[in-house]
Structure 1
Amino acid sequence: METFDYLVRGAEHRAKDAILSINHANELLFKLLLKENNEYLIFSDIAKYMNAKKKMIEQNKNSVFDIAPGLQTVGFTEAIKRLELLCEINVPDSLKRSLMYLNKKRNEITHYEINMEQGEFDDLMNKLQKSYELTVEFFSRHVDELENLIDEARFEMTADDFFEPDVEAMADEAYIDYLEGAYEDLGEGKW
């Protein structure tokens, strides 16, 4: 989202990814809050969950999904209802409205397409940013260190990144060394 204003091409693709990611992240975070209250709350059919849980215990498995991989979990709308009614966690109306709007856009992207004029796209980007801010504000009250986790997730490092030298930085350092040597050769002193 931070790059939208600087992109000449590709903003639509990034907007699509941001909408899908924020929508999915909210669903997972709502489920996390439900699970922290009681795991069964994340499952659509609690009877099927209980059956799978019983078999999981009997068979000494680690997860109900080892027993019943087809168990369905609730979507974010149902998760919000359960949080509010069963866990007594109030979800602000502004966040719910924002997420409903994004969910509508997610559905349009996933199941069809979106055609927008520039003004509509700019409005979508503003709403997307606001939704992100409301999400972080709400879940930061319920998930320890959420903002730090988000910051850390932005800077992922692959094994290649870790083990391969930063050639660009090495080239920059070599150029600086060259300039310093040239400066010294002119009798201007040591850097």
Structure 2
Amino acid sequence: MLGNGIDSLKAAYNSLEGIDYLLEGVEHRVKDAILSLHHTNEILFKLLLKQWSECLVFVDINSYMNAKEEMLTKGKSNVFEVKPGLKTIGISEAIKRLELLCDIEVCSSLRKSLDYLKQKRNQIMHYEIDLNEGEFKALMIKLTNCYEYTIRFFSQYIEGLNNLVEDARFELYEQELIDDPDVEGMIDEEYYDYLAELSKQQ
């Protein structure tokens, strides 16, 4: 799982690195970065849960236990060999289980970034993202910050993570946001609009 997470993390870095200087193919790179970052976090959150107990990764723990019993009986190496249809949880449930069952608190900066990332991921799954220059700058700030928050959080719990991505790092953008109040306001407004939309759906 760690290898898959690192591969996706590096794919996100490669998509974001130098994107400001591209004359074409920008939209494709943005989409790749969003999907890679989302996949990275999903994989690494599941990895943390698996370090506590593999059953926490699955939607239905009883189904997992039945599959594991069958796995042991048949001498197989993993539960998917006997029950390939077993479903694993998503990011939101993984965070909930980490905090409530494993006493691992996910920092607010990463949580907020992941909410934004989920919003953008849902957008690109259904329609094109049409951005003006200011919106594009705000999106890049959000994505690069999410990338760094991801590394900072998971490196606390996954030994050697920093070394695996040491050549693929960004600077966080707090100062740029302070220097550009229009972009800062646009980011915050978009985020709170998103939260408001979520509350309407509940």
Q: Which moved more, 1:5-14 or 1:28-37?
A: 5-14
Q: Does 1:38 align with 2:53?
A: yes
Structure 1: runs of 5 or more not aligned: 155-191
Deviation at 1:39, TM superposition (A): 0.3
Q: Percent identity at matched positions?
A: 56
1:125 aligns with 2:146: no
Deviation string, structure 1 residues 90-136 (Cα, Å, up to 9, x no partner)? 00011011001001101111233322222111101100000001000
TM-score by length of 1: 0.77
Count of aligned residue pairs for this structure pair: 154
How much does 1:153 deviate? 9.0
Tell me the residue number matched to 1:29.
44
Letter in 2 for 1:28: I
Q: Spell out, residue by residue over 1:169-190, the C-alpha distance to the aligned partner (whole angstroms, 9 max, x if none).
A: xxxxxxxxxxxxxxxxxxxxxx
Q: Give distance in 2, aligned partners of 1:152 and 1:73.
A: 31
1:62 corresponds to which residue? 77
CA offsets 1:143-185 (integer angstroms, 9 cap, x no match): 111122235899xxxxxxxxxxxxxxxxxxxxxxxxxxxxxxx
- Of structures 1 and 2, the one scoring higher in RCO (CA 8 A, sep 6+) is 2
Partner Cα separation in structure 2 for residue 13 and residue 25 of structure 1: 18
1:49 matched residue in structure 2 = 64
Judged with a 3 Å threshold, the aligned counterparts in structure 2 of structure 1 residues 124 and 153 are, in CA distance, closer, same or farther, namely closer
Aligned to 2:172: none
1:69/1:85 CA distance change after superposition, 3 Å: same
Alignment correspondent of 1:19: 34
Query: Equivalents in 2 of 1:111, 1:54: separation in Å?
Result: 40
Match of 2:193 in 1: none
Q: Which has the larger radius of gyration?
A: 1
* TM-score (structure 2 length as normaliser): 0.73
The residue number in structure 1 matching 2:124 is 109
5+ long unaligned stretches in structure 2: 1-15, 170-202
User: C-alpha root-mean-square deviation of aligned residues, in Å?
Assistant: 1.6
Match of 1:86 among 87, 101, 106: 101
CA distance in 2, matches of 1:110, 1:144: 34
- Aligned amino acid, residue 60 of structure 1: G
